[in-house]
Structure 1
Amino acid sequence: MNVYSPSRIRNVVMLGHSGSGKTTMSETMLYESGTKKRRGSIEEKTTSSDYHEIEHQKEKSVFGTLLNLDWRGNKINLIDTPGTADYIGEVVGALRVADTAIFNLNADYGVEVGTELHWSYTEKYNIPSLFIVNKPDSDHSDFQRTIDMAKERFGRGVVVVQYPYSEGEDFHAIIDVLKMTMYEFPEDGGKPDKLPIPDSHRSQADLLHNELVETVAENDETLLDLYLEQGELTESQMQQGLQKSLLNRDIFPLFCCCAKRNMGTGRVMGFLGNVAPNPLEANPPLTTEGEKLELDEEADPLMFMFKNSSESHVGDMLYFKVYRGSVEPGLDLVNHTTGNAVRLSGLYLPNGDQRNETDRILTGDIGAAVKLKNTGVNDTLHPKGNEVQIEPIHFPEPVIRTAIELKHEGEEDKLGTALHQLQREDPSLKVEHSQELKQVIIHGQGEEHLAVIEHSLKTRFNLDFDFVQPRIPYRETITKPARAEYKHKKQSGGAGQYGAVSMLMEPLKENMPEHSDLKVRNTQEIELDWGGKLIFRNCIVGGVIDNRFMPAILKGIMEKMESGPLSNCRVRDIRISIYDGDMHSVDSNDAAFRTAALMAFKAGFMKADPKLLEPVYNIEVTVPADHMGDVMGDISTRRGQIMGMDSEGSIQKIKAQVPLEELDHYATRLKSITHGSARYSRSFSHYARVPQDIQQRVMEETMQLQEA
């Protein structure tokens, strides 16, 4: 395998909405560069990416795939990513190691929601970006509308470098306004003929050329002076200006390609080699200290793990980028996260499902390693004594959840092991072993994401289970004061049990009044693990209950608060004052007072007008304007409250608050009513009272469960 210096490497991530042609574009680049002798196709299941069984079934990308090719002496590491929001975890990891992003826009639809989602991450990571308008041969292609949408959403920095001579079934040529040349392709694509721009297109080409030159000049004072002086910029001056403007995200060049017919990909690869930044020039990553990590070929080795893929015959294959020095098999490093020593064994340069072993990987390059003990995604490896750690990838919060119900007893450990492995491979998956709800709950990015997890659990780990509705983590509280007492007395030969407790329970509020009949001896303010507070006050006078029994009383109260009387869910935001009771010199003990406190709490709680609280989430829905009314109407049917709206071009953003119970299948519903063109994110906001009919239903369901 060739070893490329950093100046000859280009790390590129392929982005875009599902169906925009990313995988076909990647395949055509491999073929055009000579890396593959025959172009694969999605329909024939022969592409270098999309090689997993689940991807063949779905006929689209599910996982990010690392490819590499040589184009005129430059190595292009190309990461083909999924376009469906359900697999955003694969995209986020790839973006962290890419130096340039290529956005594929479908000429039929223009800027779609998936593009919006990916764009937000390139902004976050400050990644130079360019656009390709793909599928100009489609019957419904509208290149100009696509340009207008891109400019409206992404700004004046979107500048046309190429446009189609004609669209639809007549598409066969591309006019390049940087080179001021027309490329005419043979019927089956490939190498084009370079022709003068026809007179019928000359004025449009001149207009777009001047717009391109002016945009480049505007972002560089030196070039602006030259432009004003000469009225034009040379090709080398344009290249210099494009490099700087691309790196600063001042310019987003836009090309035209027909990936399926192999028309235009060579020009894009040439642009990557001549203009796109190499790893030494690219915007550097940040360390956990917030400092920029400058790449250095001569420094000690430093590598960052961004992806984990399980291979049946070798185990975990960890993908990494080398940020400093070089790495080779046998090298001993330290995992900064764990502090453990790690020895590099086999190193590979993956190309889809092909694994090409190598004996050295230099700064800026991307590779993979196997048998890295106790190492995973987000780990930084470096020599002993080097304390640099790269800022970890922050994966998006899940938007959907489901519970797993095993069909066979005794497979709990097997399930736990399987979920742990899947979470290592996919950090956008979250696994919750809920003691409160007595369920194993998995949280994902959408229905498709959960379907992939289900497929893996059943086919890879041979587990037999069902996905079932996850329970809601309700909270319980009270709305008015109540007094309660309970005497626990038990005699069964020998020492008995005796303890009596009287308590006042009140809903917790700010600036609560004191009671003239209570004298507070001491107060404990307890921040509950499940949210909210408990204020526990000892108001005993005259020694009717010894102080040594107070911890047992608190323990009894806390025990019942972990399994509330209404729904078996947790209780919060209560002030309890223990003001009276009784004890026996022989029969009183901790167990007696714990039981007495628990029963007194239960009795008082039911007299204090108890209410059920439900978790409410903030949601943000990103949706095309023509579906906005449908989405807002649907939110209203889910007991949701619209909190605000915003727009970015033709894309609308709706902010709302919706109870968790109404969100369990919301991702699916949203996809249905918007034909897959919307996405949403969510985060916990607060707990709020449930309507009375829901409280009654939950109480009845809880009673039925207890009886069962």
Structure 2
Amino acid sequence: MRVYPSSRIRNVVLLGHAGTGKTTLSETMLFESGSKQRRGSIDACSTSSDYHEIEHEKGKSVFSTLLNLDWRGNKINLIDTPGTSDYIGEVVGALRVADTAVFTLNAEYGIEVGTELHWKYTQKYNIPSLLIVNKPDSSHSKFQQTVDMARERFGRGVVVVQYPYSEGEDFHAIIDVLKMTMYEFPEDGGKPDKLPIPDSHQAQAELLHNELIESVAENDETLLDLYFEQGMLTESQMREGLQQALLHRDLFPLFCCCARRNMGTGRVMGFLGNVAPNPLEANPPQSPEGREIPLKPEGNPLMFIFKNSSESHVGDMLYFKVYGGAAEPGLDLLNHSTENTVRLSSLYLLNGDERTEVNKINTGDIGAAVKLKNTNINDLLYTKGDAVDIDPIHFPRPIIRTAIKLKQDGEEDKLGTALHQLQREDPSLEVEHSKELKQVIIHGQGEEHLAVIKHALEHRFHLDFEFTEPRIPYRETITRAVRSHYKHKKQSGGAGQFAKISLLMEPLRDSMPEHHELKVREEEEIDLEWGGKLVFRNCIVGGVIDNRFMPAILKGIMEKMKNGPLSDCRVRDIRVSVYDGAMHSVDSNDAAFRTAALMAFRDGFLKAAPKLLEPIYTIEVSVPADYMGDVMGDISTRRGQILGMDSEGSIQKIQAQVPLEELDHYATRLKSITQGSAGFMREFSHYAQAPRDVQKRVMEQTQQQPEMG
């Protein structure tokens, strides 16, 4: 197997909304390059990219897939990614090791929500990007409208390199305004004939050619001077200018192809080989502090793990990019996370599920390895003494959650092991073993994401379970000050128990009133692990309660705060002052005062106009303008409050605050009312008082089921 130098490697990630043709494009590229003798299809479940059972069931990409091909002496690593936002974790990992992004746009629909989402990540990682308008043979193709939408959203840096001679069923030729040539394709696609641009298109082609030259020259002073002197630029000057403008994200070249009919893919691969940056030219990785870390082909080995795909007969298949030296079997490297030594065994190049074993992978290249013990995504492997720190992949926060209920007792450990493995493979999944809610809750990127997790738990790990409604982590507090008293007295042979206590309980606010009759001896402000505060004050005078019992009193109060008197939920934001009581020289002990404090707190809490608080989340919905009214109306029905609106090109942004209880099925509803064209993000904001009917319902449920489980 040929080993490629860094200068001959191109790392390309395919991005775009679901249904824009990324997988078909990758399949056509493999076929056109000779890596496959026959093109597979999604319908026949025969593509190299979508090879998992769940992808065959869904008829689309669920996981990112590493492919590779040779195009005229350049190795192109292709990472095909899913376009559905539910699988965004797969996209983010791929983006971190790509040097160029290729966006596929559907000529019928233009810029869609998935494309918008992916574009933001290429901006974040500063990845050179080019665009391909796919499916110009569609009867509803709108090439120029798609170009206009791209310019509206992504800026005037979008420059047309190609456009279709004709659209719809008559599509058979592409006009290239960089080479000023028309490519006419045979009926079944493949190698085109190079023809002069027809007279009917000469004026348009020259206009776009000049726009392209001017755009390239504007981003390079030397080329701009040459352009003014000569009135034109040579092809080599254009290539150099495009390469620099692409690298710095000043320009985003736009191509046209029909991946399904193999028309135009060769030209795209030629551009990637000639113009797209190799790993040494591309933007280097950065440290967590933002310092650039240059790639060193002559240095010691440095490998970054960006993906984990577990296979039953192989184990963890860990995907890596080499940032220094070369990866070779037999090397002993240090894992920066565990500080343990890892030995490289077999190394592979991948084309979907086809593996080719190799003996060397150079700097800038991407490969995979097995049997790397205790190694995970975001780990760095390097030679001892060469410690380096690279900014990890930051996976998006989840937007949906569900609880798991096992149908058979005794499988809790098996479930825990399965979820741990799935989380190792997919860090965009979060697993919560909630002691508070007494549930195992998984948090994902959408209903489809959770469905994939369910499929894995059932088919890979053979667990019998069901998804159930996750409980809401409500909070309790009080709204007025009360004084509470409790005497605990127990005498049943032998030593008894005695404790008497008086508490002043107040809602905690920024400016609290002082009570002149109370003398504060000690005050402790406690940041509660579930949010909010408890201020605990010792106001005892005259020694009526010995100071040594104060920790037991605090313990009793904290114990009841973990299971609130109102609904068995956590209590927060209260000031408690212990100001009076009594003790017995023989019968008073820690247990007695803990019990007295717990009971005094409970009784006082229920008299202090208690209220239930519910978690409120801030959401941002990205939606096409046509669905704005429907989305805003739906938010209102969910007790949501609209905070503001903004727009990014054709996509509208709605900011709102909505109770968590109303968000558990929001992802599904949002897709339903927008025909899958909208997406959203959420982030916890604060706790707010729950409506009276919600508080009543939660209290009734607590009474019916006092012991949650």
State the TM-score, normalizing by the size of structure 2. Answer: 0.99
Q: Matched residues in 1 for 2:27 and 2:298: separation?
A: 35
> Number of matched residues?
708
Stretch of structure 1 that moved more, 108-117 or 338-347: 338-347
Q: Distance in 2 between matches of 1:288 and 1:693?
A: 47
2:19 pairs with 1:10? no
Q: Alpha-carbon deviations, 1:539-591, whole Å to 9, x = none?
A: 11111111111000000000000000111110000000001111111111101
The residue aligned with 1:179 is 179
- Taking the aligned partners of 2:85 and 2:516, their CA distance within structure 1 comes to 60
Alignment of 1:506-525 (within 5 A): 506-525=506-525
The 5 A counterparts of 1:51-66 are 51-66=51-66
Q: Deviations over 1:72-100 (max 9, x none)?
A: 00000000000000000000000000000
Name the structure 1 match of 2:103.
103
Q: Secondary structure at the match of 2:217?
A: helix
User: What letter is aligned with 1:269?
Assistant: M
Amino acid at match of 1:83: G
Deviation of 1:290 (Å) = 2.2
Deviations 1:484-537 (A, max 9, x none): 111111112111111111101000012211112211111111111111110100
Tell me which residue corresponds to 1:300: 300
After superposition, give the CA deviation of every residue in 1:222-266 in whole Å (9 maximum; x if it has no partner).
101111111110000000000000000000000000000000000
2:75 match: 75
Match in the other structure for 2:615: 615
Give the Cα separation in 2 of the matches to 1:410 and 1:330. 42
The 5 A counterparts of 1:162-561 are 162-561=162-561
What CA distance in whole angstroms lies between the structure 2 residues aligned with 1:540 and 1:223? 83
**CA distance, structure 2, for counterparts of residue 450 and residue 32 of structure 1:** 36
Say if 2:672 is the partner of 1:649.
Answer: no
The 3-state SS of whatever aligns with 2:362 is coil
Q: Which amino acid aligns with 2:393?
A: I
Aligned to 2:361, what secondary structure does the other structure show?
Answer: coil
Residue 32 in 1 paired to residue 32 in 2?
Answer: yes
**CA–CA distance in 2 between the matches of 1:359 and 1:148?**
48
Q: Distance in 1 between matches of 2:583 and 2:458?
A: 58
Structure 1 residue 678 displacement after superposition: 0.4
| Partner Cα distance (2:673, 2:329) in 1 | 53
Distance 1:309 1:568 in 2: 41
Deviation of the 1:338 alpha carbon: 1.4
Secondary structure (helix, strand or coil) at the match of 1:440 reads strand
User: Are positions 1:580 and 2:580 aligned together?
Assistant: yes
Aligned-partner Cα distance in 1 for 2:288–2:158: 33
Which residue identity does 1:239 align to in structure 2?
A: R
Q: CA deviation at 1:653?
A: 0.5
Residues 354-379 of structure 1 deviation map (CA, whole Å, 9 limit, x = unaligned): 01101110000000010101110000
The Cα of 1:707 is off from its aligned counterpart by 7.6
Paired residue secondary structure (2:494) = coil
CA deviations 1:630-665 (Å, max 9, x no partner) are: 111111111111111111111100111111001000
Q: Which secondary structure does the structure 2 equivalent of 1:140 belong to? A: coil
The separation in 1 between residues aligned to 2:439 and 2:685, in whole angstroms, is: 23
Q: Is 1:598 paired with 2:602? A: no
Cα deviation code 1:26-85 (max 9, x no counterpart) = 000000000000000000010001000000000000000000000000000000000000
2:20 alignment counterpart: 20
Residue in structure 2 matched with residue 116 of structure 1 by the alignment: 116
For 2:371, the aligned partner's letter is K
Matched residues in 1 for 2:302 and 2:643: separation? 46
The one-letter code of the counterpart of 1:219 is N
Give the match's secondary structure for 1:49: coil
3-state secondary structure, aligned to 2:557: helix
**What secondary structure, in the 3-state scheme, does the structure 1 residue paired with 2:402 have?**
strand
The amino acid of 1:442's aligned partner reads I
Query: What secondary structure does 2:705 align onto?
Result: helix
1:109 counterpart letter in structure 2 = Y
Cα displacement string for residues 103-136 of structure 1 (whole angstroms, at most 9, x for unaligned residues): 0000010000000000000000000000000000
Equivalent-residue separation in structure 2 for 1:53 and 1:553 (angstroms):
58
Q: What is the distance in 1 between the residues matched to 2:311 and 2:405?
A: 27
* Residue identity opposite 2:137 in structure 1: D
Q: Which amino acid aligns with 1:400?
A: I
* Cα RMSD after superposing both structures: 0.7
Q: Distance in 1 between matches of 2:604 and 2:408?
A: 41
Q: Which moved more, 1:367-376 or 1:513-522?
A: 513-522
1:43 aligns with 2:43: yes
Report the counterpart of residue 694 of structure 1 in structure 2.
694
Matched residue, 2:672: 672
Q: Secondary structure at the match of 1:639?
A: coil
Q: Could you give the per-residue CA deviations for residues 418-464 of structure 1, whole angstroms, max 9, x where no partner exists? A: 00000000000000000000000000000000000000000000100
The 2-side partners of 1:584 and 1:682 are apart by: 55
Residue identity matched to 2:22: K
Residue 704 of structure 1 is matched in structure 2 by: 704
1:313 to partner: Cα distance: 0.8
Give the aligned residue type for 1:108: E
Separation in 2, partners of 1:49, 1:607: 64
1:603, CA displacement in angstroms? Answer: 0.1
1:390 Cα deviation (Å)?
1.0
Aligned-partner SS, 1:560:
helix
- Structure 2 distance, partners of 1:140, 1:510, is 61
Provide structure 1 residue ranges, at least 5 long, that are not aligned to the other structure. none
CA distance in 2, matches of 1:330, 1:493: 74
User: SS at 2:136's partner residue?
Assistant: coil
Write the distance in 1 (CA, Å) between the matches of 2:649 and 2:272.
29
SS in 2 for 1:385: coil
AA at the equivalent of 2:425: E
Partner in structure 2 of residue 630 of structure 1: 630
Partner of 2:401, secondary structure, is strand
The letter of the residue matching 1:165 is: Y
The corresponding residue for 1:567 is 567
Looking at structure 1, the residues matched to 343 and 489 of structure 2 have their Cα atoms a distance apart, in angstroms, of: 65
- In the TM superposition, structure 1's runs of 4+ consecutive aligned residues that sit over 6 Å from their partners are none
- Aligned residue number for residue 640 of structure 2: 640
Q: Secondary structure at the match of 1:706?
A: coil
Give the distance between the partners of 1:144 and 1:578, measured in 2 at CA.
75
The residue type paired with residue 494 of structure 2 is G
Give % identity: 79
Instruction: Quote the Cα distance in structure 2 between the aligned partners of 1:248 and 1:290.
Output: 17
Distance 1:618 1:330 in 2: 50
Letter paired with 1:172? H
Instruction: Tell me the amino acid that sits aligned with residue 55 of structure 1.
Output: E
Letter in 1 for 2:549: F
Q: Distance in 2 between matches of 1:567 and 1:447?
A: 30
